[in-house]
Chains A and B, each alone.
Chain A
Amino acid sequence: MAQFQLNVNGTAHEVDVDPSTPILWVLRDHLSLVGTKYGCGIAQCGACTVHLNGIAVRSCQLPVSSIGNNKLTTIEGLSEKGDHPVQKAWLEHDVPQCGYCQSGQIMSASALIGANSNPSDEEIDSAMNGNICRCGTYTRIKAAIKTASNS
């Protein structure tokens, strides 16, 4: 066990965990931030996507010891009132079915738009291919990203 200082959603946290613990489980089990989902544990499904300094990363592959002073943003911290353009677009298009993958989808989509305010279809495909939606809401996800990128 070791102590780690973490900057999550603009707040400082201290956790005492095994250094190999993926940040996914630190968020879920130690910080009660359960919006970041477990789906595969091997960076293949994207359900655990968070932002590390604004870049989309799979939190199941990031040991807590690797985070250092870098800024982590989770779905809970994407906006204060749930009004990030991507979140608003998701509601406008009523994207979710079961909804389980959607926080990961939103984190991937918001990182994409943060880096590229007007992505092409191909750029959306490429940025979103790591996020599986088992319910098959992909066409709505793409439509919502376009709405968000135009706002």
Chain B
Amino acid sequence: MKTIKTSIGRRSFIKRSTLAGGGIVLSFNWLTSCDMTPSQVKALPKEWFQINGFLKIGENGLVTIMSPNPEIGQNIKTSMPMLVAEELDVDWNDVIVEQAPLNTTLFKRQLAGGSQSIRQGWNSLRMAGATARAMLIQAAAQTWGVEPAEITTSKGQLIHAASGKKSGFGSMASLAAEIDIPKEVALKELSDFKIIGTSRKNVDGTKIVTGQPLYGLDYSTDAMLIAMIVHPPAFGMQLKSIDDSQAASMPGIKKVFTMKTHLGDYGLGAFDNDAFNEVAVVVGNTTWEVMKAKEALKTEWELAPAKTEEMNFFGRTTTVETPAGLESTADHRMVFEKMASKKGKIVRKDGDPNKMFNKAAKIIERTYTCPFLAHNTMEPMNFFADVTDERANLVGPIQTPEFMEESISKRLGMDKDKIDIQMTRMGGGFGRRLYGHFMTEAAVISKEMRHPVKLIYSREDDMTQGTYRPAYHALYRAALDEDNNLIAFHVKTGGIPESPLAANRFPAGAIDHYLAEEWTEKSNITVGAFRAPRSNFIAGAEQSFLDEVAEAMGKDPIDFRLELLERAEKNPVGEKNDYEAARYAGVLKLVKEKSNWKETDSEVHRGTAAYFCHNSYVANVLDLEIQNGNPVVKKVFCAIDCGIVVNPDAATNLAEGGVVDGIGHAMYSAMTFKDGVPEQNNFDKYRLIRHSEAPKEIEVHFVDNKIDPTGLGEPPFPPIMGAMANALYKATGVRHYNQPFITDKPLAG
């Protein structure tokens, strides 16, 4: 066992004063999961004893574990409590999971983003369980008059082997709650894990398949009103006036008004990104009545001026400049061409790339692009707010509750300790719900109405609001000598409004002469983090380009990558390389072995790709067939190194989803603009991958190592786009450079 100081998590322990009396009466909470699931045989306890902020134990041994972070489908509501339960040494069937509300005193980093929840919770969550276990052991030792070191635990039982004494956790919970918090606790050896590394079902599974209320859109209270907003129809426009003469008198309508999300008298928070600060609001009794009144509302819009705002970006004040004008996708294409032809800002330079390109026998130059994308979470943006003069109670789907508490505090002029935020299960996140303007809007609307309201975005409101994945561009060049050796590499990327460059990632470090440049162009179309930001384009572009370089060099694409990685491992170029070459090579070797890379049927066309992001490594082999002129993905092999895998089947599910999501967006999806107006506003025009287009089979393999867990929500998403492009080339003889591939080139059988 290794011991770990508990000091880093001490604020996770409730002050002793609140523990006086031991038992805590729970108030009804809409979000709690205190109903039985079929696997649980024990009845709910009569009394709960709070051991620390993460867990409470009932007198009958049932344990409630709080899941601190927002659940967006990455399944941390199951896997985070697994970490606590492991070290507590409780039977998983005796665990009830509750979603914790925002509580910055008890919990750290209650955020869903960057694939960091398990990585950053790995120690603190296990420590919460281990500390509670140590307190239970101490309680038993006092009760039995024996040494704590002689007491062992197993599946919720305390055991003193020498005397034969035995007790369930529940019997000792009352006393344990009074024990001093140990300064150090021992954590299990990895080989002693009984829960971590075993597949456990989604704790909300039964509720999901029986349609129980779980999501923000499902939340309701008595006498709650429904609100919807009307935002400008185009980026670059703003509200001029509304005429509510018809809408306000329609059945069920309570009020029609306009509101500003931010007042401009304070700096914006990092997630207060919002294209349309002033919107019209319709409030009424029911959703359909509000939708009908919204259609009847007459609005006048005008061109918005350019603006400059201050934003507090993680403690650093930055200036955000938004240009005026009505942009079109055709303009963006011209921006791409103009900027790519100019010199960019040099971000990394190794050796003398210019010299090597001048003496090259052959230069391969290729350009890759991708469009803006809408996140399109299946559950549209929504939030419940009940704001009075004294308090604000907010309930709904948000990835950044702590940041939004700050924003709402500023907007309402209300202390943060008067604001309660509860997170519902989310119908998808993908980064979209990092940006909580809809939550601020709900709070302002409730304050105006002096009534509880639930704000609902229609699909059209949601899809045309902005916060998109940026449009990106990448220009790659490779210099080969007369013997087809790769002697220099050049990448120049840019985007509207950000560049996707990761200058210190592979193949940087593997090539002596390397140049990375970037450029950006401002836009009034707002963007936001989209599953694996920047990587979600650059991985596919880079991996397509490497495929083409390998072909020109007459090399097998996997062997070519492995050679470069061997160079990067043994004799790296430069000192700032962001990846571990051996782990990168590890996933390529694993996928090569599992897919029998060089042995395949003649009608199957194979593409490969690998990428590193969010601290994890993923490699793919994708098998494609052409059936009736259409590409059919028969099978995808996916090899992942994300360190220790907490919940293998759930992790496999997440990786499968990343593969389907990646193929879908690379193949089919695009958001385009005409004079500032988004040209796609619902799923009849915006294409998402559907059932018949998904791979027929996905096989996921994890590298078995003992490294602490790293990210998994994002890493399986980016590389598959490259594998798809490379397999399409094998199948059709046509390279695909512009996403979505379906419109890039006609597919030929």
Contacts and interface: CB of A to CB of B under 8 A. Distances in A.
B698 A139 contact: yes
Given A28-B287, A135-B428, A47 B209 contact: no
A136 B288 contact: no
Contact of A100 (B199, B288, B378, B682): B378
B665 to A, nearest CB: 10
A38 B376 CA distance: 13
A82 B654 contact: no
B650 interface: yes
A125 interface: yes
Given A82-B206, A98-B73, A137-B653, A129 B692 contact: yes
Given A18-B289, A96-B202, A102-B209, A138 B691 contact: yes
A106 B220 CA distance: 24
B250 to A, nearest CB: 10
Contacts of B425: 98-99
A42 B689 contact: no
B211 A134 contact: no
A1 B691 contact: no
Contacts of B698: 139
Given A37-B379, A91-B206, A98-B425, A42 B682 contact: yes
Interface size class of B (residues with CB under 8 A): 35 or more
A100 B429 CA distance: 11
Contact of B210 (A35, A36, A124, A129): A35
B115 to A, nearest CB: 14
A146 to B, nearest CB: 12
Contacts of B377: 98, 100, 134
B209 A82 contact: yes
Given A41-B458, A134-B688, A136-B694, A90 B426 contact: no
Contacts of B429: 98
Contacts of A38: 217, 287, 380, 456
Nearest to A47: B378
Contact of B692 (A21, A41, A95, A125): A125
Interface residues of A, number: 61
B214 to A, nearest CB: 7
A40 B691 contact: no
A33 to B, nearest CB: 7
B378 A136 contact: no
Contact of A44 (B204, B292, B659, B682): B682
Contacts of B193: none
A39 B459 contact: yes
B243 interface: no
B18 interface: no
Contact of A25 (B288, B379, B664): B288
B465 to A, nearest CB: 15
Contacts of A32: 220
Given A40-B682, A42-B683, A134-B688, A96 B213 contact: no
Given A76-B210, A87-B210, A136 B692 contact: no
Given A87-B209, A97-B74, A99-B73, A139 B656 contact: yes
Contact of A40 (B199, B212, B459, B696): B459
A93 to B, nearest CB: 9
Interface in A51-101: 74-76, 78, 82, 87, 90-91, 94-101
Interface string A9-52: 00000000110111001001110111111111110110100000
A95 B697 CA distance: 15
A101 B689 CA distance: 14
B142 interface: no
Nearest to B217: A38
A111 interface: no
A139 B694 CA distance: 7
Contacts of A34: 211, 213, 217-218, 220
A113 to B, nearest CB: 15
Interface string B355-397: 0000000000000000000001111100000000000000000
B582 to A, nearest CB: 30
A1 B427 contact: no
Contacts of A149: none
A126 interface: yes
A74 B656 contact: no
* Most chain B beta carbons < 10 A, residue from A28, A74, A135: A135
Given A25-B286, A76-B211, A98-B429, 16 more contacts: A35-B212, A39-B380, A44-B684, A47-B378, A75-B209, A94-B653, A95-B653, A97-B75, A98-B379, A98-B428, A99-B427, A100-B378, A100-B428, A121-B696, A129-B692, A136-B689
Those 3 A-B pairs whose CB atoms lie nearest each other, nearest first: A35-B211, A100-B427, A136-B660
7 contacts: A21-B286, A25-B288, A39-B459, A42-B459, A45-B378, A132-B688, A134-B378
Interface of A: 1, 17-18, 20-22, 25, 28-30, 32-42, 44-45, 47, 74-76, 78, 82, 87, 90-91, 94-103, 106, 121, 124-126, 128-129, 131-142
